[in-house]
Amino acid sequence: MRRIVFVIFEGFQPLDLVGPHEVFTHASELTGGGYECRVVAPTSGPVRAHSGLPVHAEHAATDLAPGGIDTLVVAGGFGVDQACDDRVLVDWVAAAAAGARRVTSVCSGAFLLAAAGALGGRRVTTHWKREEQLRRQHPEVTVDCDPIFIQDGRIWTSAGVTAGMDLALALVEGDHGRGVAHAVAQELVMFLRRPGSQSQFSVPLWAARPATDPIRSAVAAVNADPGARHGISDLAARAGLSPRHLQRRFTAELGMPPATYVERVRIEAARRVLAEADEPVDAIARRLGFGTAETLRRAFHRHVGVAPSDYRERFRAMREYA
């Protein structure tokens, strides 16, 4: 029986608690009682989430001994900045983190772990909107907000909301194997247990909106057919601009040059094809404009953090287990 202790506070994000809690609870049912989940807060009783949802905390930080914890899970949320000023809570988290086998945070829960001194010298992630704040307030921490979760020794940190479920599934897999983790994901109707190295940025997040019609035309052409010819001259012709003018305006409006944008859109298209079809990698590479399978592999690993074959295998294993 592994004790999982969740830390919440006024203004926490409820899914940071409920998502991982459900993962561990379902895993416990499948394994005949593998986990015992408890919730701690500055005071016991109702704790109001940022959305207004009241959640009952069984234990106050002053009442629950910080020892005997297998996995500490610190939730995030808009109230985390105030929670970091609660000396009693911060000291309890520090003591609990010092003795736990695994220490984890979801979203901005990393701020509370950092305030407790648990992240010094570690590579961590958090929600992409909080990246600069965490880096500024805690220079002793190496912040990388591309992966959805990061393991650095016994410290695990994750990006926003649903990434906490991915992290919890990874912990379950480490404890009980892939079969149990996949069964939990199936029960919770999760389409995929994503690897931690997968980027938390999808097209709507990493791509700014173009501000002018010429650049909108170029962007629309790329999104409509990622595998078509999208060299600088091709895009300039669609936008009605000179190649040099397009390069300058595109970069100014989207924050990246056209070639980078094209590659990232093609990577997103490749991810969809790999997940949904059994088309050979070399055929996908040709169809999506990469040319060769090796070019696709290098670009895919650079952006997603895993090889195309490994990415596909995660979907295939999920389907076969189901």
Cα–Cα distance, 212 to 72 (Å, whole number): 48
Q: How crowded is residue 218: how many other Cβ atoms within 10 Å of its Cβ?
A: 29
Locate all alpha helices (DSSP H) within the chain, ordered by sequence: 14-30, 80-83, 87-99, 109-115, 131-137, 163-176, 178-187, 203-206, 213-224, 232-239, 243-254, 258-276, 281-287, 293-304, 308-321
Reported as a single tens digit per residue, the pLDDT across 105-132 is: 999 999 999 999 999 999 999 988 899 9
Q: What is the pTM of this model?
A: 0.67
Q: Is the sign of the CA dihedral 76, 81, 82, 86 positive or negative?
A: positive
pLDDT reported for residue 313: 80
Overall average pLDDT of the 212-234 stretch: 91
pLDDT reported for residue 290: 95
* 151 and 9 share one domain: yes
pLDDT reported for residue 272: 81
204 has pLDDT over 90: no
pLDDT reported for residue 203: 46
Cα 223-160-15 angle, rounded to 5 deg: 120
Average pLDDT of every residue of the chain: 89
Overall average pLDDT of the 135-153 stretch: 91
* 179 and 34 share one domain: yes
Residue 68 phi, psi dihedral angles, 5° rounding = 75, 15
202 has pLDDT over 80: no
304 has pLDDT over 90: no
Cα–Cα distance, 250 to 223 (Å, whole number): 15
Reported as a single tens digit per residue, the pLDDT across 60-70 is: 998 889 989 99
* 109 and 7 share one domain: yes
* 173 and 81 share one domain: yes
Choose from 70-74, 202-206, 250-254 the range with maximum mean pLDDT: 70-74
* 27 and 176 share one domain: yes
Cα 65-71-74 angle, rounded to 5 deg: 85
27 has pLDDT over 60: yes
Q: What is the CATH number of the domain that holds 142?
A: 3.40.50.880
In angstroms, what CA-CA distances link 296 with 170, 187, 236, 258?
Answer: 27, 33, 25, 18
Looking at the 3D structure of the chain, how many domains does it have? Answer: 2
Instruction: Give the strand order in the sheet containing 102-106.
Output: 59-60, 35-41, 2-7, 71-74, 102-106, 155-158, 149-152
197 has pLDDT over 60: no
Cα–Cα distance, 243 to 237 (Å, whole number): 8
155, 187, 219: which is the final residue of a domain? 187
Query: Which residue range is the domain that position 269 belongs to?
Result: 203-321
pLDDT reported for residue 316: 63
Task: Using CB atoms within 10 Å of the CB of residue 266, give its burial: 0 to 12 exposed, 13 to 18 middle, 19+ buried.
Answer: buried
Q: Is the sign of the CA dihedral 239, 245, 250, 252 positive or negative?
A: negative
153 backbone φψ class: left, alpha, beta (φ>0; ψ -120 to 50): left
Of the listed ranges 76-80, 105-109, 312-316, the least confidently predicted one is: 312-316
pLDDT reported for residue 278: 85
Q: Of how many residues is the chain composed?
A: 322
pLDDT reported for residue 128: 82
* 171 and 211 share one domain: no
306 has pLDDT over 90: no
Cα–Cα distance, 302 to 280 (Å, whole number): 20
322 has pLDDT over 50: no
* 162 and 230 share one domain: no
